[in-house]
């Protein structure tokens, strides 16, 4: 049956862990978690004009944020177990303290959503490996501990975390996951569910044939559909899937078939962790012409340094990057935008000196983020960034070749500036910025767009003001800037041709394009960065 999804424009994935790990305006991590923190994390989503809150109620695969009977951690060893003084240990201890105080975290979150008129959905991580690096830990559930034969393992694993993942070709694995989802739907009134195939995206041994992967996932989806239907056949199911169509197939997801069969109502195209302009929204739209499609934004465009499990230094998304990237997704056929890890602009390090950012999430950037008419008159900051998780993407790109190799970097743009009426609000010249792995001293790179050579220039500082410093290069000698005639920029993919004329070991780490409002007193004409429009 057709399930009504038209009101869904902005989905907000609420990682429940942030309530227990982050300093917020509602509570400090020096205080025990209370209702002010639980309710505040709902209120800010409603105030940001989001369409639905999707709650992820687990830390990794092992720590339920409810008093589960399927994984009875808080009925047994979890009540008294010693938690290490690490990020993970503190999250576990603070979760336990709230639940044992009598507060039903999921129930209170759902209740607050209803009070604010915000649809409340379940975000279910298919198999999250957070916390499984030491499976002997007391918080690891018995099913995982007692089932090593159900893990992918060597030599069948692809790499990394896939070794410790459970193989979904086994009916026991699917049944265990279904038992947890069933318990949640029996206890709480979720209005739908999104199955997160990106946490963590390894579900099968590489020896498992494609057809078997597809059938295993179909069986699982059918099981989830039966559970959800007990609450009403009008409740939708979505899937958070990889940024390319082919990678979805690799995971065993025949999305075209699943949508025809009524198992999937929307697809949320994700780059796993970092905001990326390389999502194949247009391909998904072509393959799924009648399915609702969302493009995902996160708090960061790149991980600069991993610190410990669940904690890293990242380069945060600005208001301009969030809204410009959303514009590119909508221009390619997306119906809406989803947010993942958006809360993690905040300090979630429990005050460690390794983590310096102390900024609040830019919730006002979400106001009207799917309004194309509004987006068409704002400053634009399009970014091609290096991805450090799951999918390689175009960067880093080695440019060596003494001018003989014509290398291209493709950047998605959300507006057709070749049309005079679309150029009207803007300066005639945009800025292209290349971030090199090493200093640009002694390096000359010829940049072209549509056959035109771009004139080198220099813009002081960052292209747009920042409210954070983590992950931002302090040494701007790694930047090369160029003037880009605005009339050359088309909606869709713009391919910049790059040739090294002088220099060695030239590696492109990041590419940015800034389009400034006319009369803003910034950009190429002044050599100064822009001022944000509110």
CA distance 429 to 487: 8
Tell me the residue range of the domain where 198 lies.
10-375
Within a domain: 237: yes
Within a domain: 453: yes
283 with 410, same domain: the answer is no
Quick one: pLDDT band at residue 222, thresholds 50, 70, 90? very high
pLDDT value of residue 2:
63
239 with 183, same domain: the answer is yes
338 with 442, same domain: the answer is no
369 with 410, same domain: the answer is no
360 with 477, same domain: the answer is no
Within a domain: 534: no
Among 310, 345, 375, the domain boundary falls at 375
150 with 258, same domain: the answer is yes
Helix (H) or strand (E) holding 502: strand 492-502
Quick check: 427 and 516 in contact, CB under 8 A?
yes
* pLDDT tens per residue, range 94-149: 999 999 999 999 999 999 999 999 999 999 999 988 878 788 899 999 999 999 99
Using CA atoms, how far residue 157 sits from 60, 125, 131, 290, in Å, is 20, 20, 19, 35
311 with 402, same domain: the answer is no
Edge-to-edge order in the sheet of strand 407-413: 407-413, 492-502, 444-449, 452-453
Among 347, 375, 403, the domain boundary falls at 375
195 with 236, same domain: the answer is yes
Quick check: 268 and 194 in contact, CB under 8 A?
yes
* pLDDT tens per residue, range 402-433: 656 789 999 999 999 999 999 999 999 999 99
Arithmetic mean of pLDDT, 255-281:
97
CA distance 513 to 433: 6
Question: If we measure between CA atoms, which residue out of 283, 275, 383 comes closest to residue 333?
Answer: 283
Within a domain: 387: no
CATH of the domain at 415: 2.60.120
CATH of the domain at 231: 3.20.20.80
* pLDDT tens per residue, range 264-276: 999 999 999 999 9
Within a domain: 261: yes
Quick check: 268 and 240 in contact, CB under 8 A?
yes
Quick check: 14 and 109 in contact, CB under 8 A?
yes
Q: Would you say the C-alpha torsion 113, 126, 294, 265 has a positive or negative sign?
A: negative
Within a domain: 341: yes
Quick one: pLDDT band at residue 438, thresholds 50, 70, 90? very high
pLDDT value of residue 301:
93
472 with 330, same domain: the answer is no
Arithmetic mean of pLDDT, 30-34:
96
Number of structural domains found in the chain: 2
83 with 129, same domain: the answer is yes
pLDDT value of residue 105:
98
Quick one: pLDDT band at residue 533, thresholds 50, 70, 90? very low
pLDDT value of residue 357:
63
> What's the mean per-residue pLDDT of the chain?
92
286 with 325, same domain: the answer is yes
88 with 168, same domain: the answer is yes
Please determine, for residue 287, whether its predicted confidence score (pLDDT) is greater than 50.
Answer: yes
Quick check: 195 and 237 in contact, CB under 8 A?
yes
Quick check: 506 and 436 in contact, CB under 8 A?
yes
Quick one: pLDDT band at residue 534, thresholds 50, 70, 90? very low
Arithmetic mean of pLDDT, 200-218:
94
pLDDT value of residue 495:
98
Task: State the distance between the two ends of the chain, measured CA to CA, in whole angstroms.
Answer: 42
Among 375, 409, 424, the domain boundary falls at 375
């Amino acid at each position: 049956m057709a399930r009504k999804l038209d009101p869904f424009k902005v989905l907000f994935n609420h990682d429940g862990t942030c309530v227990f790990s982050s300093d917020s305006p509602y509570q400090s991590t020096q205080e025990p978690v209370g209702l002010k923190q639980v309710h505040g994390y709902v209120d800010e989503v409603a105030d940001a004009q989001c369409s639905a809150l999707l709650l992820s109620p687990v830390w990794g695969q092992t720590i339920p944020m409810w008093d589960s009977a399927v994984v009875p951690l808080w009925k047994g060893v979890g009540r008294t177990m010693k938690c290490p003084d690490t990020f993970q240990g503190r999250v576990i201890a603070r979760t336990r303290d709230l639940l044992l105080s009598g507060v039903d975290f999921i129930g209170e979150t759902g209740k607050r959503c209803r009070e604010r008129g915000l649809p409340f959905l379940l975000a279910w991580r298919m198999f999250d490996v957070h916390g499984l690096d030491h499976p002997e830990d007391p918080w690891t559930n018995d099913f995982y501990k007692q089932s090593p034969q159900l893990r992918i393992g060597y030599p069948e694993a692809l790499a990394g975390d896939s070794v410790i993942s459970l193989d979904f070709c086994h009916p026991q694995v699917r049944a265990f996951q279904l038992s947890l989802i069933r318990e949640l739907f029996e206890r709480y009134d979720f209005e739908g569910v999104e199955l997160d195939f990106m946490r963590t995206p390894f579900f099968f041994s590489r020896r498992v044939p494609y057809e078997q992967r597809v059938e295993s996932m179909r069986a699982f989806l059918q099981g989830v559909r039966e559970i959800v239907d007990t609450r009403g056949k009008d409740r939708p199911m979505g899937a958070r899937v990889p940024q390319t169509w082919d990678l979805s197939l690799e995971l065993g997801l025949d999305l075209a078939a699943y949508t025809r069969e009524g198992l999937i109502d929307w697809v949320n195209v994700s780059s796993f962790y970092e905001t990326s302009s390389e999502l194949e929204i247009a391909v998904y739209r072509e393959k799924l012409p009648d399915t609702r499609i969302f493009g995902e934004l996160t708090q960061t465009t790149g991980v600069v340094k991993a610190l410990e499990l669940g904690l890293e230094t990242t380069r945060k998304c600005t208001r301009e990057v969030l809204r410009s990237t959303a514009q590119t997704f909508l221009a390619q056929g997306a119906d809406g935008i989803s947010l993942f890890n958006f809360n993690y602009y905040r300090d979630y390090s429990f005050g460690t000196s390794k983590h310096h950012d102390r900024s609040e999430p830019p919730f006002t950037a979400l106001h009207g983020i799917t309004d194309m008419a509004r987006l068409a008159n704002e400053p634009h900051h399009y970014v091609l960034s290096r991805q450090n998780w799951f999918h390689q993407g175009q960067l880093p790109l080695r440019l060596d070749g003494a001018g003989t190799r014509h290398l291209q970097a493709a950047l998605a743009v959300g507006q057709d500036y070749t049309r005079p009426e679309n150029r009207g609000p803007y300066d005639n010249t945009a800025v292209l910025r290349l971030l090199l792995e090493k200093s640009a001293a002694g390096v000359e790179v010829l940049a072209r767009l549509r056959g035109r050579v771009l004139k080198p220039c220099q813009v002081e500082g960052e292209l747009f003001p920042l409210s954070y410093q983590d992950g931002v290069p302090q040494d701007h000698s790694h930047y090369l800037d160029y003037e880009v005639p605005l009339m050359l920029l088309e909606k869709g993919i713009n391919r910049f041709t790059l040739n090294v004329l002088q220099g060695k070991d030239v590696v492109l780490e990041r590419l940015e394009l800034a389009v400034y409002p006319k009369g803003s007193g910034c950009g190429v004409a002044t050599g100064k960065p822009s001022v944000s429009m509110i």
